[in-house]
């Protein structure tokens, strides 16, 4: 008997793959920010932190929009 792949399983794998890729991107961001020890000035670190804070706010906004029921 032929079994068709469950769409939910496929979607779950896609989410898992995307979460893994996101983790790798965040890890690369951390390595970039902290490579070589303390080579960035306080001003640059503050700017980077502001960018990360803005990204967090955008992610929160996107997540909230994704949870809304379709119109």
pLDDT digits (tens, 9 = 90+) for 27-38: 998 888 777 676
1-54 residue pLDDT tens:
445 555 567 777 888 999 999 999 999 988 887 776 766 788 888 998 899 999
Contact 40, 25 (CB under 8 A): no
Cα diameter, the chain: 64
Write down the pTM of the prediction: 0.61
The answer to whether 40 touches 48, Cβ cutoff 8 Å, is yes
């Amino acid at each position: 008997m032929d079994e068709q792949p469950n769409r939910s399983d496929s979607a779950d794998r896609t989410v898992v793959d995307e979460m893994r890729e996101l983790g790798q991107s965040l890890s690369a961001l951390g390595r970039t920010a902290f490579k070589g020890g303390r080579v960035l000035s306080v001003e640059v670190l503050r700017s980077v932190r502001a960018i990360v804070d803005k990204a967090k706010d955008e992610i929160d906004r996107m997540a909230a929009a994704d949870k809304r029921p379709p119109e």
